[in-house]
Amino acid sequence: MSFLLRLTSPLRGRKVGTDRFGNVYYEGRTNQPIYDRPRRWAVYADGGREPTVVPPEWHAWLHHTVPAPLPETKRYFWQQEHRPNLTGTPHAYRPAGHDYVGGTRRVTGGDYEAWTPGS
């Protein structure tokens, strides 16, 4: 995230709120000419450009699905805590047979013959 965006966001838009991860959300002061609605954006707490750190409550507001941000306090027992995309990290999902998990996969039925060029 550029320093310039952090600096100009309070000037170009009004602060709507902050989520539990520290991301700050803004809404433009004027409507966009094509969509006739204000622009909405987030300034991420860690300074990165990873949009998966936005929780679902704020994601709905950013994409104009709901007119106001959804409350973050109402949690049901079956709801899990939001996690950002873990691809490329040690916590990423790796199925059985992946090289990082051991590289062994279950035995196939034996009816498969690999294709080789020229055969």
How many whole angstroms separate alpha carbon 90 and alpha carbon 76? 29
How many whole angstroms separate alpha carbon 51 and alpha carbon 59? 9
Helix (H) or strand (E) holding 39: strand 38-43
Q: Which pLDDT tens digits describe the chain residue by residue (119 residues)?
A: 578 888 888 888 999 999 988 999 999 999 988 899 999 999 988 777 778 888 888 999 999 999 999 887 777 888 888 788 888 888 888 887 787 777 776 776 666 778 889 87
CB-CB contact of 63 with 56 (8 Å): no
pTM for this prediction: 0.69
CB-CB contact of 26 with 43 (8 Å): yes
CB-CB contact of 54 with 23 (8 Å): yes
What residues contact residue 86 under an 8 Å CB cut-off, 6+ apart? 92, 93
User: In the beta sheet, which residues pair with residue 15?
Assistant: 26
